[in-house]
Amino acid sequence: MHKVKFIYNPYSGENSIITNIDKVIEIHQKKGYIVIPYRISRGFNIDKAFEDIEDDYKYILIAGGDGTVDTVVNCMKNKEIDIPIAILPVGTANDFAKFIGMPADIEKACKQILNTDVKKVDLGKINDKYFINVASMGLFTDISQKIDINLKNTMGKLAYYIKGIEQLPNFRKLKVKVKSSKNHFDGDMYLVLIFNGQTAGNLNFAYKAHLDDGLLDVIIIKASNPVDMIGLFINMLKGDHLDNSSIMYFKTDELEIESYEDITTDIDGEKGPDFPLKITCIKHGLKILGIEE
């Protein structure tokens, strides 16, 4: 009988996984799996979740948002654990899970996971950390890091919007140097987004991104006058902003970013590394269940 390591964050989103743990175990047991749970919380090292990992483990089931998935994936990569993951999207931000088509309903998600084959998808890496969805820097990128955890869990996405409004007075130009094999940017920007996924905060920024093309989608929102920004926002609502003159957009498998500004970097809602940055796409670097044909 195969085992499934079930790593769950009880604080993700609206704590929905707490009332669904029995359902998760029931569905897996019917399929002949033994579920071994591990609860993520402060004071418990995530490394302990993998102390008993052996060949009889079929996959790692993760219940949480993008940040929780990143934490698990980074631990697995550091320990060279090469088994598939599967995601139950119960966090505040579930952008990557939505990108791969995971339903929000726990029962439907479990059944989808159990009835699909393993797929290999791309994985991002920024310096010595891995990310599944997006690495960012510039305005608003540290919002999730500044939100009180209780406010985030009780108010969900509204907490992000409130904190975003608070950050508007800090709307200023930031100087960066971005270099890839074919594209260069040296100037003022408001925001840089490097997508392995497609959306951020449910906004479909990188709508040309693919799961397994071995390329990251880079979006640089250049500093410009307010009139140009209004046009950009209108294009974003229409879903054709990647052709806007205020944006520099390209695909690459590797890039470097330098800046001497006081800029916070972010990896799927968690604090990222300091500059300089080397960012790469690891083609087919992650095995995952739940992606339907």
pLDDT of residue 281: 98
User: In 3-state terms, what secondary structure has residue 46?
Assistant: helix
E runs forming strands in 101-231: 119-126, 129-131, 134-138, 174-180, 184-195, 216-222
16's tokens: 């929905």
Question: 91, 115, 139: which is the final residue of a domain?
Answer: 115
Q: What is the rounded CA–CA span in Å between residue 102 and residue 87? A: 8
Q: Is residue 292 part of a domain?
A: no
> Closest by alpha carbon to 197, among 269, 115, 259?
269
What single DSSP character describes residue 225? -
Model pLDDT for residues 193-251, shown as the tens digit of each residue: 999 999 987 788 899 999 999 999 999 989 877 667 677 777 776 778 888 888 999 99
β strands within 139-262, DSSP E: 174-180, 184-195, 216-222, 247-252, 254-258
What 3-state class would DSSP assign to 199?
A: coil
pLDDT value for 43: 74
Q: Which residues of the chain have pLDDT under 70?
A: 140-171, 226-227, 229, 237
Which pLDDT value is given to residue 114? 98
Q: Is residue 66 assigned to a domain?
A: yes
Bridge partner list, 220: 192, 248
Tell me the C-alpha distance between 90 and 19, whole Å: 12
Residue 135 shares a structural domain with residue 277: yes
pLDDT of 226:
64
Q: Are residues 94 and 62 in the same domain?
A: yes
pLDDT at residue number 159: 41
In angstroms and rounded to an integer, the radius of gyration of the C-alpha atoms of the chain is 19
Residue 59 placed within a domain: yes
Residue 26 lies in domain: 2-115
Final residue belonging to a domain, choices 59, 87, 115: 115
Residue 164 in any domain: the answer is yes
Structure tokens at 51: 């102390």
Q: Are residues 187 and 97 in the same domain?
A: no
